[in-house]
Structure 1
C-alpha cells in the first residue's frame, strides 16, 4: 500500500512525458501494484486481471518488456491504498453536475489528485480509509462510479483509442493540501438515494410503494443488481407483503436489468429468510424445468445474507 505522499510523488514525475514501461516501473517502485492492459484499451491482459497486480520489479519488467505499449492498470482500495471517484460523461448524463452537487454538500473534499480521462471525464483520487472495506459501486443515473475494493482503474500516461483517435489519461491537478479519506457510502446515498418509505404511525402497517421500489430496482447497474433487489425485497418483507406478491412486483424489473428468474427467486428467498428467519419461505416464480410455468417452491429458512 502506498502513502498519499508517495502517490503524489509518482504522479508528479509522470506529468512529464514518460514511456509506459518507465511509468509502470515507477508506480511499482513507489509501492503501487500494477498489471498490463491491452494497448489502447482498458481490458486486462493477464488471466486474473487486477488480482495479478504486483510491485515485483522483475514481473513488471517482463510484462512491459513483452508488450511496451500495454496500458497500466492499478487495483483500487486496500490493494493500492487509494480509491477513485470516476466522473463520466456519456450522452445526456454529465457526471460533473453530480460531482459539483456533492462538492457543494461537502462530500468530495480531500482529494489527492485529479486526472482527466480519455472520454472527457475525470478521476478524483482519495486515500483508502484504513481498516475499512470500501466496495466499488455505480450511481449510473448520476454519471458517477466509485472504484474501491474489487475494482481497478487505468492510470496515466495510458491512452485509449476510439473512433475519434487516441486520447491519454492526463494528470489534471495535484493537491497541495491534506488528503482525506472519502465517506463512500454517504456519497452513494447522496448521488443515488434509495426509496424512502412513507412514515407510519404506531400500530399501523407501513405504506410502501412496490411500484416505486420496482422502478428503483430497474435502475440498478451491473454489480448492483442482486444487492438492490435484495434490499427492495427486504423492505416488502418487513411490511408483511407475501413473497409471491414481492416476486410479482419486483421480478420483471430485476429481469429487465439482466438477472435470470432463478437469480430473482433465490434473492427474494434470501431476503425473506433474513427478515423472517423463523418462517418457511415460498416464492412464486417460473419453473425452468416446466417450460416457464410458475410454481410454488418452499425452502427451509436460514439466516444467510447475500454478499
Structure 2
C-alpha cells in the first residue's frame, strides 16, 4: 500500500518543528499498540522512527501529546445529547478565553482551540460539553480522519499568545451557586426573585474574576426569568476599581442578556 503523503508529511513536519507525534488507528483515535505500546507516552520526535511508523501504517492518524512542551487544547464537543458552543460563546463574550494560536474544526463539527502548553492537568466539564487536553492527554491533528471526516485547520490568528487558565474557565462555568431566597411559606421563590441572593454573592467578590462572576450571575438571573430592567441591581453593591467600573458592569450585563436571549432562539 502506498504511503498517504499528507498524513506522513504532516507527522514529519511536526517532528521538524521539534514536536513529538505518534500513530493512531486509521479512522480512529486510539494509539496503534503494536507500534507504540505505551500509547501517547511513546510519542517521538525522532525523524527515522516516525518515518518507519508511517511506512508500517500509511493511513495512521497523527496524534500529538498535549501539555507542557506542546499545546493545551480546549475541546468544544458536539454530541447527540448536546453542544459545547453555548458555553464556548459565553466564555468568549466574558473575555475568559485569550486568542488561540490556532483553531481546528473536528470531524463532529466541534472545535479544538490551541494555546501554549502548560503543566495543567486535563479536565472536563461534561455538562457543558467542553474538555481540556493538557498534561496527560493528546489530540488528533490535521489531516487525520475520523468517520470519513478530516480535522481541518481553519484559523491561525496568533503566532504567540497567552496560556489558557483552565481553573478560570471551570470557575466561570461552574461557580459556587448562591442560595436562592425562599418566601416565608417555604415554597420556591417566583422566577426572577433570585436577584437579591445573586447580588449579595456578587458583593462579596473581589478581584480577579468580578466581571466573569457578574456575567455568570446575569445569565442565571435571565434564565430564571428576570427582566432586563432588573438586572442592573446585580452590581449595585459590587466593589469597583482596578479597571472594573460601573460602565463596564453595565456592558457585561447587556452582553450576558443578549447571549442568553440569542441562545434561547437558536
TM-score bracket for the superposition, by shorter chain length: 0.5 to 0.7
Looking at structure 2, the residues matched to 89 and 41 of structure 1 have their Cα atoms a distance apart, in angstroms, of: 17
Could you tell me whether the CA contact under 8 Å between 1:87 and 1:123 is conserved in 2? yes
Aligned residue for 1:62, secondary structure, equals helix
- Shift of residue 196, structure 1, vs aligned partner: 6.2
State the TM-score, normalized to the length of structure 2: 0.62
Q: 5+ unaligned residues in a row in structure 2: which ranges?
A: 181-266
1:114 to 84, 93, 103: 103
Could you tell me whether the CA contact under 8 Å between 1:37 and 1:72 is conserved in 2? yes
Counterpart for residue 182 of structure 1: 164
Q: In structure 2, do the counterparts of structure 1 residues 194 and 91 end up closer, same or farther at CA, with 3 Å as the change threshold?
A: farther
Deviation by residue 1:252-299 (Cα, 9 ceiling, x = unmatched):
xxxxxxxxxxxxxxxxxxxxxxxxxxxxxxxxxxxxxxxxxxxxxxxx
Counterpart for residue 15 of structure 2: 28
2:90 to 84, 87, 101: 101
Q: After superposition, where does 1:50-69 map in structure 2 within 5 Å?
A: 50-69=40-59
Q: 5+ unaligned residues in a row in structure 1: which ranges?
A: 1-16, 199-307
- Shift of residue 128, structure 1, vs aligned partner: 1.9
Looking at structure 1, the residues matched to 5 and 158 of structure 2 have their Cα atoms a distance apart, in angstroms, of: 23
Q: Does 1:42 align with 2:24?
A: no
Counterpart for residue 137 of structure 1: 123
Whose relative contact order is higher, 1 or 2, with alpha carbons under 8 Å and at least 6 apart? 2
- Shift of residue 197, structure 1, vs aligned partner: 7.9
Deviation by residue 1:127-150 (Cα, 9 ceiling, x = unmatched):
124xxx211000010110000001
Aligned residue for 2:37, secondary structure, equals coil
Aligned residue for 1:157, secondary structure, equals coil
Q: Does 1:167 align with 2:153?
A: no
Could you tell me whether the CA contact under 8 Å between 2:68 and 2:117 is conserved in 1? yes
Q: Does 1:77 align with 2:63?
A: no
Counterpart for residue 87 of structure 1: 76
Q: In structure 2, do the counterparts of structure 1 residues 197 and 75 end up closer, same or farther at CA, with 3 Å as the change threshold?
A: farther
- Shift of residue 79, structure 1, vs aligned partner: 4.0
1:127 to 116, 132, 135: 116
Q: After superposition, where does 1:271-290 map in structure 2 within 5 Å?
A: none
Looking at structure 1, the residues matched to 53 and 176 of structure 2 have their Cα atoms a distance apart, in angstroms, of: 43
Looking at structure 2, the residues matched to 63 and 176 of structure 1 have their Cα atoms a distance apart, in angstroms, of: 32
- Shift of residue 18, structure 1, vs aligned partner: 5.5
| CA RMSD in angstroms, aligned pairs only | 1.9
Deviating 4+ runs (over 6 angstroms): none
- Shift of residue 105, structure 1, vs aligned partner: 1.1
Aligned residue for 1:187, secondary structure, equals helix
- Shift of residue 193, structure 1, vs aligned partner: 3.2
Could you tell me whether the CA contact under 8 Å between 2:69 and 2:117 is conserved in 1? no
Q: In structure 2, do the counterparts of structure 1 residues 38 and 177 end up closer, same or farther at CA, with 3 Å as the change threshold?
A: closer
Looking at structure 1, the residues matched to 58 and 160 of structure 2 have their Cα atoms a distance apart, in angstroms, of: 35
More strand by share: 1
Could you tell me whether the CA contact under 8 Å between 2:102 and 2:114 is conserved in 1? yes
Looking at structure 2, the residues matched to 141 and 156 of structure 1 have their Cα atoms a distance apart, in angstroms, of: 27
- Shift of residue 109, structure 1, vs aligned partner: 1.8
Deviation by residue 1:203-229 (Cα, 9 ceiling, x = unmatched):
xxxxxxxxxxxxxxxxxxxxxxxxxxx
Aligned residue for 2:139, secondary structure, equals strand
Deviation by residue 1:3-37 (Cα, 9 ceiling, x = unmatched):
xxxxxxxxxxxxxx961111111111101100000
Deviates further, 138-147 or 86-95: 86-95
